[in-house]
């Protein structure tokens, strides 16, 4: 065989081999396998983040309740002081 002919045959074989590898690497079942592996690796971390977020939400709800309770108490206390002041003023004016 001549050298150019041999090079042409080798090029055809390597091109076909490369194309076959490309098709095999990008086959849908391989893509699904890669997706499955990604989910399998990522899921524990995502579950931990979800658990952390739920814990933070519970703590936040507790803090919000505490602040709302303090605000209601403060407002009722201020309202009571205003009533005392007003009744004191009215009592003083009526005398």
pLDDT tens profile 31-87: 788 889 999 999 999 999 999 999 999 999 999 899 888 888 877 776 665 655 655
- CA–CA separation, 78 vs 83, rounded Å? 9
Number of domains comprising the chain: 1
Q: Domain span at residue 62?
A: 3-94
CB contact at 8 A, 54 and 60: no
What global pTM score does this model have?
0.46
- For residue 41, what pLDDT is reported? 95
- CA–CA separation, 26 vs 32, rounded Å? 10
């Amino acid at each position: 065989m001549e050298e150019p002919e041999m090079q042409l045959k080798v090029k055809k074989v390597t091109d076909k081999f490369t194309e076959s590898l490309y098709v095999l690497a990008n086959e849908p079942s391989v893509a699904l396998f890669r997706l499955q592996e990604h989910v399998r690796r990522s899921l524990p971390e995502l579950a931990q983040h979800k658990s952390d977020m739920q814990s933070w939400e519970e703590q936040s709800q507790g803090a919000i309740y505490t602040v709302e309770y303090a605000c209601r108490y403060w407002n009722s206390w201020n309202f009571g002081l205003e009533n005392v002041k007003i009744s004191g003023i009215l009592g003083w004016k009526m005398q």
